[in-house]
Structure 1
Amino acid sequence: MHLVVFSTKPYDREFFTRANNNPAVTPTPHTITFHSFPLTQSTASLAHEADAVCAFVNDALPGSVLRALRGLPQEVRAILLRCAGYNNVDLATAKNLSLSVANVPAYSPEAVAEFAVALVQTLNRKTHRAYNRVREGNFELSGLMGQTLYGKTVGVVGTGRIGLAFARVMARGFGCKVVATDPFPAEERLKEAVGPDGGNYVELDELLRVSDVVSLHCPLTDDTKHIINGETLAKLKKGAVLVNTSRGGLVNTQSVIAALKSKHLGGLALDVYEGEGELFYQDHSAEIIQDDDLMRLMTFPNVLVSGHQGFFTEEALTEIAECTLRNFDELLNDKPCKNALVRQGQLARRDSLPVRI
């Protein structure tokens, strides 16, 4: 079978080629074509000989792109997402076009959780600023004071696999008190992660009121878009730190800029950004970036921005490639596929269940 993979980097090619040549994953290697550019309505024609296409987190797949894929002489039969989120795909149109869709719901959740912890500590202890100072021969400590995390309250918004992994590190590793919010509470899983005397579920308003650190680990849906906005930031404990390693659209950028300017928000760490689609995963160092909100954010000394790299570990990339190829085999050979979002013109049952990331 033939798979066309869009928005690829050298590391994507390396890990997909490795998985494709692993008999334990793919008994018979597939034909894989890699493109560095995204899947769009104009590039969809390059999948004219493909059985399936593979897209990444910032590839937008509205109905027009899906119809272009189904209108090819050899119709594409499946869309494989090498990411957990699927808010970028028009699933209703996929269903109507009988396009199968599958994602990679879990790939080394500890990778993203550990990166969120790294952002918390970097922002708190200002190690990024200390590093630059020392390289210039400046060993002054003024301006580098942080806080001891032990005993602080950490709020976890979303307790899927990544949220629970983050809660586990903060509770068992740093001795923090954990509070969590989720529309589908998992009391036993939370207790298992943080210990019997650890976390408990509260409403979002209460979480914001009591937390010294708030970390977002929920999917982007109609209900969670801009869950961090002017109104919710006003309820945040003054001086609290906000971390987002999930989806950029969870945070209203202009609202956090206002909260930073007023000094109500104590610090902000973003590995994702609501306008990242045209910027992230590319080198723009020789260009004038036109996104004024992002440029304003990066002028604050208490703001960290990284380029959506929380997932970027060898273990995660291995699992992403292997799971994507397993989905490919299962969808195209009519085998059961637990990661299917749309299958043979039907929304998979799990699409109506709570999304865990």
Structure 2
Amino acid sequence: MSGYPGYQGNVTGGPGDLEMGQPGGSDARFGQMPTAAFAGQAAYAQGYGQPQQQGGYPPVYPPQAGGKPAQQQYQPQYAGYGGQAASGGGYTAPQVQQPPPPPPGPSQYIADMDQAVRHGFIRKVYGILIVQLLLTFGIVAIFSYIDAVQVYAMNNSWLMGVSIAAVFVLLIGMTCCPGNLMSKFPLNIILLMVFSLFQGVALGVIAASFACDARAYDSAKGLVVCVNNPDAPAVNGRMSVLLAMAITIGVVLVLTIFACQTKYDFTGAGPYLMAALLIFIVFFAIAGIWLRFDKVYNLVYACIGVLVFSALLIYNTQLIVGGKNRKYQLGPDQYIFGALTLYLDIINIFLFVLSIIGLSR
């Protein structure tokens, strides 16, 4: 059986017959076959190249030079269940499906842009409001301090009627018109300034009467004239108008700061404030028919009016300022509406403060 290491067939002439698989003896023709090397060759012949069975022994590799068996080299056959075949044999680990990341929140850039837009909206609203108040209070001062204008306003009641009618027509046209006049520039600015002009005339006629210490009839001119006493120790008529303006501005500033700084949200109280306003108008309008000339009634009416419109001023201010603590806020395109609501609140506060000062004199 040539080709099997350590076997040369039956040989004679030696000490005895050489059996297959036995190491050579002292005959020089066979050489020495170490027992360890022979065992390694036999294991190699039995297990090399055969597939490893489950629970069996790993394959034995051919011996190296010198008769030392080679070290076993294990290669991973399976890297995981359901893996893909690797280039060197076996399988790679399957890719684990990661859950989708949560949707990203608004970036700092978007937050800064929103804040810049809101600040620009606030500046626009209060810029328009300041122009309205300067126009209105300027007309009130003219009607209160220029004698000719004051006398004309006191003797021409039609001026009051026309101004109030124009105010209501413009107000309904800007807020209820299907064409949405508040969003058409520059028509919205023009209508708002005309509205402020007529509102100033109406307030000027009222202030002309409050600016008088007394009224007298001039038979020579056939006119009602205003009698002013600049040396009066108390606040005279014209000073009462300026005092009402100053108190109104002070109240508006305090309420505006409070509305901007407080963490309490008043924007959700809109329905309650509207209900309070309707009750205030209906109840006191009906009661005023019988108590029109009662001084106590008028004083209570004016005080409640200041409270109601102060609450509305806080509500409308928070709608304009907005912020994360606000439930509702106006959009950037509603600057005309925002300026109009603040203007109406301030005008009503001025009227009621002027009534309180006039009734207290």
TM-score if structure 2 supplies the norm length?
Answer: 0.19
Structure number with the bigger relative contact order (C-alpha 8 A, sep ≥ 6) is 1
Bigger helix share: 2
Q: Which has the higher strand share?
A: 1
Computing the radius of gyration from Cα coordinates, the structure with the larger value is 2
Given the two structures, how large is their TM-score scaled by the length of structure 1?
0.20
